[in-house]
Amino acid sequence: MTALGELHFRPLNVGRWVVWGFTAVVFIAAPQIFTSGFARALLSQMGILIIFALSYNMLLGQTGLLSFGHAVYSGLGAYFAIHALALIGKGALAFPVSLLPLIGGAAGLFFSVVFGWLTTKRAGTTFAMISLGIGEMVFAASLMFPAFFGGEAGISGNRTAGPPLLGIDGLTLGPDIQVYYLIATWTFVCMIATYALTHTPLGRIANAVRDNPERAEFIGYDAQRVRWIMMMLAGFFAGVSGGLSAINLESVGSGAVHALVSGGVLLAAYIGGVLFFFGPILGSVVFVFFAFALSEYTPAWHLYLGVFFVLLVMFAPGGLASLILLNLRVAKFGKFRRLRDPYVGVIGTGGLLAAGIVLLIEMTYHQTLGIGSGSSVRVFGFPFDTARGESWVFGALVVAAAGVAFEYMRRRFKSEWDAIAVEIEDWRRDNPEQDQ
């Protein structure tokens, strides 16, 4: 595989307006295609996480800052937004509910100014450790000051408070679909804003500081200042996502500032690919699928997410975005046809292997955690009896057979893939001017 940084996401090439227009259409159409309440709730979660992950990637992918405490800014943003919502409900504050994310953003900005001053003095491990410490500190504070953080129960609000949106009767933000479109609008705006940021002097210098902070200082830039400003902007967008979350759930608890949330956004960004602008967007969609959709079906979702993450980091360290771009490059060179059969083989056998493993895991989970609910468990719609040896033998046979077949297919795929990669590299070496 080639160095990932060589690949670039250039919406200009495909037409910036086409990409953004398509995104807008997807945002508008999605809840009309997936109409169930559950699906719409997922879509709302995806929108919120997209903003949060893009904000996170302003630090990780763009500035090279690995933070373990980003939930501090989204969480505190959510708390300030929910308090504002409560005030609106009491009539003590005249502020449109639809703009509450701005209050969340202001809170995120404020705290990232304060904490960022501390954390950005150093990059690398020191930054990561201080961010972890601040995360723990804020979480501890959330339990210590129940008046603000609401203790165990958290703080609740009512998003229908205040006058209707744009003065139109019926736009109360009560129905889920209205909240979805509010979130989608905010997500779309934040996506454009964070994308635009990558094409500004600050955005580019942040990349330079990520690559080589020392050299950045010798071309006139204060690396700490660059990190700090990036941190403030990231804090703002994190706060916006927190504010949206407050509107969406109408409740904020101390879990909002917990390290689990910080870890989740790291996973989401990394799964998608931190070196590409659209990576965290993809990662958020996948992460929500695991954390909110898969968790409805199986208690083992953490395990699946973990395994998925490990495999991705091992075989596609550039994330899903790099997988897509590498394949697009193969297609651009007109060689994708050669990969079609190997892909069918790898995906077919890989899917079977995964199914076998899932079967064994689900039966194990059922046997150890599902006590009292009988020995029968449904996997992929089929009933399996965990008390009978045949079920286990069947699962093991599927895994063994699919494993052998998959390994064969994987090698075939790899040799073809590597051959294509070499051909492309040769061509690029011989034609440096035409290289994009």
Partner 1 sequence: MTTPALELRQVRKRFGRTEIIRGVSLTINSGERHAIIGPNGAGKSTLFNLVSGRFHADAGEILLNGATITRRKPFEINRLGLARSFQITNIFPRLSVFENLRCAVLWSLGYRYSFWRNLNKLADAEARAERLLERIGLTRRRNIQAGLLTYAEQRALEVGITIAGGAQVILLDEPTAGMSRSETARAVALIREVTQGRTLVMVEHDMSVVFGLADRISVVVYGEVIASGPPEEIRADSRVKEAYLGQPAEAT
Q: Does 3 bind partner 1 (CB under 8 A)?
A: yes
The span of 31-39, 195-203, 248-256, 390-398 binding partner 1 (CB under 8 A) equals 195-203
The span of 24-32, 98-106, 149-157, 202-210 binding partner 1 (CB under 8 A) equals 202-210
Q: Which of 93, 193 has the CB closer to partner 1?
A: 193
Q: Does 421 bind partner 1 (CB under 8 A)?
A: no
DSSP 258: S
Q: Which of 158, 172, 185, 212 binds partner 1 (CB under 8 A)?
A: 212
Q: Does 121 bind partner 1 (CB under 8 A)?
A: no
Q: Does 430 bind partner 1 (CB under 8 A)?
A: no
In the complex, the smallest distance separating the C-beta of residue 80 from partner 1, rounded to whole angstroms, is 23
Q: Which of 93, 99, 137, 208 binds partner 1 (CB under 8 A)?
A: 208
Q: At 102, phi and psi to the nearest 5? A: -65, -35
The span of 19-27, 108-116, 127-135, 193-201 binding partner 1 (CB under 8 A) equals 193-201
Q: Does 435 bind partner 1 (CB under 8 A)?
A: yes
Q: Which of 226, 256, 271, 281 binds partner 1 (CB under 8 A)?
A: 226
Q: Does 229 bind partner 1 (CB under 8 A)?
A: yes
Q: Does 150 bind partner 1 (CB under 8 A)?
A: no
In the complex, the smallest distance separating the C-beta of residue 85 from partner 1, rounded to whole angstroms, is 30
Q: Which of 407, 425 has the CB closer to partner 1?
A: 425
R_g of the chain, CA atoms, integer Å: 24
Q: Which of 233, 271 has the CB closer to partner 1?
A: 233
Q: Does 220 bind partner 1 (CB under 8 A)?
A: yes
| The dihedral sign for the CA sequence 49, 203, 192, 93 | positive
In the complex, the smallest distance separating the C-beta of residue 433 from partner 1, rounded to whole angstroms, is 6
The span of 76-84, 211-219, 255-263, 354-362 binding partner 1 (CB under 8 A) equals 211-219
Alpha-helix runs per DSSP H in 167-294: 176-197, 201-211, 213-217, 223-249, 259-272, 279-288
Q: Which of 172, 207, 251, 367 binds partner 1 (CB under 8 A)?
A: 207
Q: At 407, phi and psi to the nearest 5? A: -60, -40
Q: Which two tokens stand for residue 260?
A: 């689990």
In the complex, the smallest distance separating the C-beta of residue 81 from partner 1, rounded to whole angstroms, is 24
Q: Quote the CA–CA distance of 142 and 139 in Å, as a whole number.
A: 5
Q: Quote the CA–CA distance of 364 and 385 in Å, as a whole number.
A: 11
Q: Which of 15, 24, 222, 426 binds partner 1 (CB under 8 A)?
A: 222
Q: Quote the CA–CA distance of 211 and 296 in Å, as a whole number.
A: 41
Q: Residue 221's Cα: distance from chain center in Å?
A: 31
Q: Which of 32, 36, 368, 436 binds partner 1 (CB under 8 A)?
A: 436
Are the beta carbons of 72 and 134 closer than 8 angstroms? Answer: yes
Q: Does 389 bind partner 1 (CB under 8 A)?
A: no
In the complex, the smallest distance separating the C-beta of residue 77 from partner 1, rounded to whole angstroms, is 20
Positions 59 through 78 that interact with partner 1 (CB under 8 A): none
Q: Which two tokens stand for residue 136?
A: 């723990």
Q: Quote the CA–CA distance of 360 and 398 in Å, as a whole number.
A: 10
In the complex, the smallest distance separating the C-beta of residue 9 from partner 1, rounded to whole angstroms, is 14
Q: Does 418 bind partner 1 (CB under 8 A)?
A: no
Q: Which of 114, 211, 332, 419 binds partner 1 (CB under 8 A)?
A: 211
Q: Does 234 bind partner 1 (CB under 8 A)?
A: no
Are the beta carbons of 290 and 299 closer than 8 angstroms? Answer: no
In the complex, the smallest distance separating the C-beta of residue 12 from partner 1, rounded to whole angstroms, is 9
Q: Does 433 bind partner 1 (CB under 8 A)?
A: yes
Identify the burial level of 70 via C-beta atoms within 10 angstroms of its C-beta, where 0-12 means exposed, 13-18 middle and 19 or more buried: buried
Q: Does 282 bind partner 1 (CB under 8 A)?
A: no
Positions 4 through 23 that interact with partner 1 (CB under 8 A): 5-6
Q: Could you give the C-alpha distances from 71 to 9, 335, 375, 424, 434, in angstroms and in order?
A: 28, 43, 40, 42, 44
Collapse the DSSP code of 371 into the 3-class scheme (helix H, G, I; strand E, B; otherwise coil) and give the result.
coil
Are the beta carbons of 235 and 73 closer than 8 angstroms? Answer: yes
Q: Could you give the C-alpha distances from 342 to 183, 403, 413, in angstroms and in order?
A: 41, 16, 5
Q: Quote the CA–CA distance of 132 and 389 in Å, as a whole number.
A: 47
The residue written with tokens 């995120």 in the block is: 108
Are the beta carbons of 333 and 427 closer than 8 angstroms? Answer: yes
Determine which helix (DSSP H) or strand (DSSP E) holds 385, and give its type and residue range: strand 382-385
Q: Quote the CA–CA distance of 299 and 130 in Å, as a whole number.
A: 33
Are the beta carbons of 90 and 226 closer than 8 angstroms? Answer: no
What are the residues binding partner 1 (CB under 8 A)?
3, 5-6, 196-197, 199-205, 207-208, 210-212, 214-222, 225-226, 229, 233, 432-433, 435-436
